[in-house]
């Protein structure tokens, strides 16, 4: 029996419909009387009683949802939207997994959305609304009678080996028919190889594999083009010619390569410093998936790996999937080097996000939508995988309307003792581990190497994948286990090019068999399996005798792992599928990369202009106050709040600091998570200004390097060990000699900066397709700088106190060019001030000049400045640092600007703080609303005084059980919190690969609960917070009869349960937090629903303790206030007035947000956490576990809400005789 269910939120909880209605009205400038969103589920082949179980326990929640089996759409306008079936669909997959948990059978569930509007909506308006909501790359409109059975992925000829007839077809006709990314010359070279060397037709799989291998994305064809002659426009000044020739001559002096290419220039300086033993901390290895440096942590030697990655093309056409897989792919690069990734940055480029939707280019998505949805995608992935993203910056320039810039940069670490780097040998086995393979991502590498045109939105739907961070989290855990990492001889992630490129690159001789590859659905051809870029997969080389152990360890982490091939001594790449050979290619042919391109280059005056800065406006009060509404200077706080910056308990600087959390940090700074209490951190930042680059690319690239380095030094890092990676992004060059001059100048400029600062670029990524018809992206070279430092040396950007000195350590250009001697002298001097603790706060000058720095330093703590200066306060004097100090300091390059105080005064003009704040915060709020609606306010809770309770039996060792479900990501933080109290936690991984593992997990979990004292459900995203609700999967585990009985007995024995964030959501939905017993929810039960602002929020909030009678809180003080981090999308505690009064009467409210300003989600009555009636179960949204030395130094107040020691003391007090 098949069933259709329509589910919507009750009116008071319908955040999605309400926010979408407001968004459409604002963006499309139309009036809507009514809009309702329904989630529609089709459930196949279930009995009536099974359907009721599915609806009531998985798809709908009785206290927040309404569901219908039929819907009346008379007198309504409506339309339905479905994600393409070939894409990974989190909602359908999670629903199926939840049902399997309940019924122990796989049930097919399909989902789409129904949008219902008032009949008064006009047809043209309806077309505009559909166009706004439906991205044709990821979804399509369907009728209500859509037939899934006629729209499946099955292929009757999946095993057919298709050949391409090269004997009877003209090469040019074939080239056009196949729509390849490679050039015609490369295709001709390829066909000649088959004709002359192999004397046979190529298979379809071979041609598309070669197209992928030789794409610009995989083989950097543009960067490997040989540059022959370099010419100068006659109008270029002699000084510019001389400087450029100096750079060319320096390259020739240090390069070991015969030919000049962009790639050789990019890598020349690092090869020079390695060859001459100038830098001894750079790892040299055949595995080059990430930049790697050696560091010493006292008695532990480690390898820090960092990488930047772009997904410009996929994010432009499908922002959520493109941005999320940008991060996923970036993480897998260091991960393939066996590094645990703990730190992330995001730098993006967009057009004007505030422009009218009507001004959107034809066949393009609106800039506001690309920006917002991409932020959702990137943050969603990072938040779910559990990586702290601590620096996020979007750069606005009209050139990025051609194609978006989407960069993710990450940092990981591994102990050297756990890392094996060995050359694969014949007989070694190739194992595929991770997610399933589907049609999503086919053509991604080749697609990103092509120009965008008006048809890209129609023809590229298969190229962009939907990431699955829950799966990648498992890979992170697996590769961090020493027993696993020591088995791996070599590893590759399956990003661009999929199995074909990822596995094919592992050795010169590779033989693959695709029959055992885990598929998302049946019907894939061998070609599709080979080049699919489905995410969250890795290939590893393992010795034959170790394969079974590796697979067993993968299964323990709830991962699929299977042998797919072996290393051979043939120097060939061979692939079979269903016993048919579909690929049989010589390695030398593959490695040739096709035709070697050559080009002459012409430098033009257009991009070697003078950089003298002039103010075009009179610097009056109104202009200076309005200056902060500039898109590139405004606050991006509301966007950055979508990114979890505190997970991992390693964050040294929050993205926005000060009491008001308004002073913008310029670096990402994380403690290295190898040892508890370790005081060494990694600092990373970036530099780039598109407006300088479009005037002078040569000098712009130097200033990009200088900006990235100066930000690191300003924050407390040392220049001595800074390493760089670059991200180049340029228009399609074709064979235009003048266009080729742009990236060449950028790399030559950056080469000189590396030399003068002695900061080698040891990694990078190029993207050379930034063209849409006649539009081009601005010349782009983003410099990322990284180093290590002591956390005690790190300084934040927020002014600390009144009446302190404000200094400018000044660098200025000489005849347009950086003064490197002054820069290096300044860096040495400033580093001495850091060591002497004379710097209280600091800000490296960026695009907005001195004024931007002063105001942003002031806002964090509500301080100000009185500054008088003859300097141009708007000029971006890169390399300069403004800092605060108590001391009087003298230096020839130091300018005293004034002192800190409570007003904002510059050159005698007093600026209005409120107006500046409004201008600073308002622009981004149009895209990311930040205002809470009204909600019920709490009554004052009186302290209930009781004697402390302690566990009745003597306990020598407290046993803590951590349950790790699919989507859990806070287990490491919880373990740290208990370890600070000398208590170790036992992890239990709940496995659901098949029903046998599922049943086994339920039985083992029930037994382990009985043997524990404290049962903890950490935070995370249970199955990605799906289907349409957080914690549902875990709640259904808790409702399982065996688990329910185990927990009931557990609480009878007066033991303790804790759920934080996702754990809190699960405990609420299981009913155990209300009445101390698991039960089916009623309509009056409280719930945790979507945040009022309809987005994820991550920030620090002040919470107070309003219960001291629970074992979790009895060591805390009543009304004690702590500043703790929150990070969630569904944390709004919703409860009716009657139930609220019951909770108050029963003393069940444990923690409250202190006021509306600190209520991040619109929780009724400011409720942050509650305890069960018995007081033994605690659920809370705030992450009390994310605490430690030097954590978020720029956030103030008491950050230690120590519920953990209180719980431990509950069990141990009797041992101490304290009763």
pLDDT at 440: 78
Phi first, then psi, for residue 340 (nearest 5°) are -90, 120
The helix/strand/coil state of 304 is strand
Phi first, then psi, for residue 794 (nearest 5°) are -75, 130
Buried-exposed string 668-694: b where 16+ CB fall within 10 A, e elsewhere: bbbbbbbeeebbbbbbbbbbbbbebbb
Query: Residue ranges of the chain with pLDDT lower than 50?
Result: 153, 449-450, 457, 459, 1217-1219
pLDDT at 85: 82
The alpha carbon of 470 is separated from its chain's Cα centroid by a whole number of angstroms, namely: 13
pLDDT at 616: 72
pLDDT at 1217: 46
DSSP string for residues in 998-1013: HHHHHHHHHHHHHT-S
The class level of CATH for 204-217+420-592 reads alpha beta
pLDDT at 455: 55
DSSP string for residues in 722-784: -EEEEEEE----TT-HHHHHHHHHHHHHHHHHHHHHT--EEEEEEE---EETTEEPPPEEEEE
pLDDT at 1219: 38
Angle of CA points 511, 515, 516, to nearest 5°: 100
H/E/C letters for each residue in 94-142?
HHHHHHHHHHCCCCCEEEEEEEEEECCCCHHHHHHHHHHHCCCCCEEEE
Q: Rg for the chain (alpha carbons), in Å?
A: 30
Cα separation, 787 vs 279, in Å, equals: 13
Return the active site residues: 1061, 1183, 1185
pLDDT at 721: 95
pLDDT at 1218: 47
Are 1124 and 1198 a contacting pair, CB within 8 Å? no
What letter does residue 1 receive in the DSSP assignment?
-
Q: How many residues does the chain have?
A: 1219
Find the Cα–Cα–Cα–Cα dihedral 1039, 1042, 1047, 1052, rounded to 10°: 130
Cα separation, 1084 vs 1139, in Å, equals: 7
User: Quick one: tokens of 644?
Assistant: 């979890």
DSSP string for residues in 507-554: -SSEEEE-TT--BSSS---HHHHHH---SSEEEEEE-GGGHHHHHHHH
User: Quick one: tokens of 983?
Assistant: 């208590």
Are 354 and 320 a contacting pair, CB within 8 Å? no
Are 331 and 494 a contacting pair, CB within 8 Å? no
Q: At what angle do helices 913-925 and 849-859 cross, to 10 degrees?
A: 90
User: Quick one: tokens of 196?
Assistant: 């002359």
β-strand 1132-1134 against 109-118: which pairing, if any? unpaired
Cα separation, 680 vs 684, in Å, equals: 13
DSSP string for residues in 1059-1078: EETHHHHHHHHHTHHHHSS-
Q: Which helix (H) or strand (E) holds 8?
A: strand 3-9
Q: Which residues contact 277 (CB under 8 A, 6 or more apart)?
A: none
Cα separation, 335 vs 419, in Å, equals: 12
User: Quick one: tokens of 1060?
Assistant: 């934080």
pLDDT at 151: 54
Structural domain boundaries in the chain: 3-150, 204-217+420-592, 960-1216
Give the ranges where 179-318 is alpha helix by DSSP (H).
184-192, 204-213, 216-219, 238-254, 262-275, 312-317
Cα separation, 937 vs 894, in Å, equals: 52
pLDDT at 313: 86
pLDDT at 152: 56
Are 69 and 6 a contacting pair, CB within 8 Å? yes
Equal fold, 204-217+420-592 vs 960-1216: no
Assigned fold of 960-1216: Rossmann fold (3.40.50)
Find the Cα–Cα–Cα–Cα dihedral 8, 9, 10, 12, rounded to 10°: -150
């Amino acid at each position: 029996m098949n069933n259709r269910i329509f589910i919507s939120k009750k009116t008071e909880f319908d955040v999605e419909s309400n926010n979408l209605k407001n968004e459409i009205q604002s963006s499309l400038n139309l009036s809507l009387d009514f809009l309702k969103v329904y989630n529609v589920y089709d459930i196949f082949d279930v009995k009536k009683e099974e359907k009721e179980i599915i609806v009531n326990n998985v798809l709908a929640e009785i206290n927040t949802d309404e569901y219908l089996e039929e819907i009346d759409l008379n007198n309504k306008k409506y339309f339905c939207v479905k994600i393409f079936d070939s894409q990974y669909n989190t909602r359908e997959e999670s629903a199926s997994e939840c049902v399997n948990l309940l019924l122990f059978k796989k049930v097919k569930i399909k989902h789409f959305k129904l949008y219902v509007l008032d009949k008064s909506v006009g047809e043209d308006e309806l077309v505009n609304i559909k166009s706004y909501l439906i991205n044709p790359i990821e979804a399509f409109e369907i009728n209500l009678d859509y037939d899934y059975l006629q729209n499946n992925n099955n292929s009757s000829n999946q095993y057919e080996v298709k050949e391409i007839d090269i004997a009877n077809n003209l090469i040019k006709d074939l080239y056009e028919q196949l729509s390849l990314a490679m050039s015609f010359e490369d295709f001709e070279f390829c066909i000649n190889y088959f004709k002359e060397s192999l004397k046979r037709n190529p298979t379809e799989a071979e041609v598309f594999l070669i197209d992928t291998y030789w794409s610009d994305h995989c083989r950097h064809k543009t960067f490997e083009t040989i540059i022959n002659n370099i010419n100068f426009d006659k109008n270029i000044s002699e000084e510019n010619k001389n400087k450029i020739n100096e750079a060319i001559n320096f390259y020739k002096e240090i390069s070991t390569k015969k030919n000049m290419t962009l790639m050789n220039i990019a890598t020349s300086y690092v090869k020079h410093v390695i060859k001459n033993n100038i830098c001894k901390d750079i790892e040299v290895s055949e595995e080059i998936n990430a930049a790697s440096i050696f560091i010493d942590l006292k008695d532990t030697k480690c390898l820090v790996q960092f990488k930047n990655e772009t997904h410009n093309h996929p994010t432009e056409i499908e922002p959520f999937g493109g941005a999320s897989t940008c991060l996923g792919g970036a993480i897998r690069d260091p991960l393939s080097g066996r590094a645990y990734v703990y730190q992330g940055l995001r730098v993006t480029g967009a057009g004007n996000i505030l422009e009218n939707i009507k001004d959107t280019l034809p066949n393009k998505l609106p800039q506001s939508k690309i920006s917002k949805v991409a932020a959702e995608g990137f943050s969603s992935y990072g938040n779910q995988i559990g990586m702290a993203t601590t620096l996020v910056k979007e750069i606005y320039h009209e050139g990025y309307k051609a194609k978006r810039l989407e960069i993710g940069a990450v940092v990981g670490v591994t102990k050297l003792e756990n890392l094996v780097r060995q050359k694969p040998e014949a007989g070694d086995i190739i194992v595929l581990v991770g997610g399933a393979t589907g049609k999503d991502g086919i053509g991604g590498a080749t697609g990103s190497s092509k120009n965008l045109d008006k048809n890209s939105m129609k023809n590229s739907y298969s190229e962009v994948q939907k990431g699955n961070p829950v799966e990648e989290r498992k890979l992170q855990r697996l590769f961090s286990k020493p027993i696993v990492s020591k088995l791996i001889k070599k590893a590759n992630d399956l990003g661009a090019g999929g199995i074909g490129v990822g596995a094919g690159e592992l050795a010169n001789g590779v033989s693959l068999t695709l029959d055992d590859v885990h598929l998302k659905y049946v019907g894939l051809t061998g070609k599709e399996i080979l080049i699919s870029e489905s995410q969250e997969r890795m290939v590893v080389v393992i010795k034959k005798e170790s394969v079974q152990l590796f697979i067993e360890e993968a299964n323990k982490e709830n991962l699929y792992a299977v042998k797919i091939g072996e290393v051979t001594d043939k120097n060939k790449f061979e692939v079979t599928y269903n016993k048919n050979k579909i690929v049989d290619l010589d390695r030398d042919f593959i490695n040739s990369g096709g035709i070697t391109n050559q080009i002459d280059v012409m430098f033009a005056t257009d991009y070697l202009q003078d950089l003298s800065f002039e103010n075009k406006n009179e610097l009056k009060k109104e202009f200076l106050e309005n200056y902060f509404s500039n898109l590139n200077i405004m606050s991006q706080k509301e966007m950055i709040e979508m990114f979890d910056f505190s997970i991992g308990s390693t964050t040294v600087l929050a993205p926005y600091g000060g009491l008001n959390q308004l002073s913008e940090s310029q670096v990402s700074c994380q403690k290295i998570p190898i040892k508890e209490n370790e005081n060494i951190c990694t600092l990373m930042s970036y530099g780039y200004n598109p407006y300088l680059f479009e005037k002078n690319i040569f000098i712009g690239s130097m200033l990009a390097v200088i900006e990235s380095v100066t930000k690191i030094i300003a924050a407390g890092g040392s220049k001595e060990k800074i390493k760089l990676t670059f991200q180049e992004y340029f228009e399609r060059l074709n064979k235009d000699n003048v266009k080729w001059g742009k990236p060449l100048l950028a790399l030559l400029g950056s080469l000189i900066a590396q030399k003068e600062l002695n900061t080698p670029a040891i990694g990078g990524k190029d993207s050379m397709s930034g063209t849409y018809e006649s539009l081009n992206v601005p010349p782009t070279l983003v410099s990322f700088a990284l180093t290590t430092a002591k956390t005690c040396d790190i300084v934040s950007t927020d002014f600390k106190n009144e009446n302190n000195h404000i200094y400018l350590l000044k660098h200025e250009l000489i005849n347009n060019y950086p003064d490197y001697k002054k820069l290096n002298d300044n860096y040495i001097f400033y580093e001495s001030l850091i060591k002497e603790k004379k710097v209280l706060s600091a800000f490296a000058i960026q695009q907005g000049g001195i004024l931007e720095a002063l105001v942003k330093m002031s806002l964090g703590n509500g301080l100000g400045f009185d500054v008088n200066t003859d300097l141009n306060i708007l000029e971006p004097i890169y390399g300069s640092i403004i800092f605060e100090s108590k001391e009087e300091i003298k230096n020839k390059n130091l300018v005293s600007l004034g002192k800190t105080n409570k007003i904002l005064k510059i050159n005698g003009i007093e600026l209005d703080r409120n107006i500046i704040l409004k201008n600073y915060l308002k622009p981004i709020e149009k895209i990311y609303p930040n205002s809470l609606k009204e909600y019920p306010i709490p009554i004052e809770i009186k302290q209930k005084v009781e004697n402390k309770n302690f566990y009745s039996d003597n306990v020598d060792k407290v046993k803590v059980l951590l349950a790790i479900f699919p989507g859990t990501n806070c287990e490491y933080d919880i373990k740290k919190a208990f370890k600070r109290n000398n208590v170790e936690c036992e992890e239990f991984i709940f496995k659901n690969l098949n029903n046998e593992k599922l049943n086994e997990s339920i039985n083992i979990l029930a037994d382990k609960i009985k043997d524990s004292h404290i049962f903890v459900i950490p935070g995370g995203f249970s199955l990605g917070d799906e289907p349409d609700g957080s914690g549902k999967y875990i709640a259904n585990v808790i409702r399982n009869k065996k688990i329910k009985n185990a927990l009931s007995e557990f609480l009878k024995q007066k033991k303790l349960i804790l759920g934080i964030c996702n754990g809190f959501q699960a405990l609420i939905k299981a009913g155990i937090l209300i009445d101390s017993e698991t039960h089916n929810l009623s309509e009056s039960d409280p719930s945790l629903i979507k945040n009022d602002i309809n987005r994820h929020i991550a920030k620090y909030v002040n919470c107070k303790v309003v219960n001291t009678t629970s074992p979790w809180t009895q060591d805390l003080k009543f009304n004690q206030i702590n500043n703790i981090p929150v990070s969630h999308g569904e944390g709004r505690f919703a409860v009716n007035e009657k139930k609220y009064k019951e909770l108050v009467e029963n003393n069940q409210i444990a923690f409250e947000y202190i006021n509306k300003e600190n209520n991040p989600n619109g929780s009724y009555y400011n409720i942050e956490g509650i305890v069960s009636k018995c007081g033994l179960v605690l659920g809370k949204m705030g992450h009390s576990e994310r605490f430690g030395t030097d954590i978020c130094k720029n956030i103030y107040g008491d950050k230690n809400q120590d519920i953990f020691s209180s719980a431990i003391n509950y069990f141990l007090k009797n041992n101490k005789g304290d009763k």
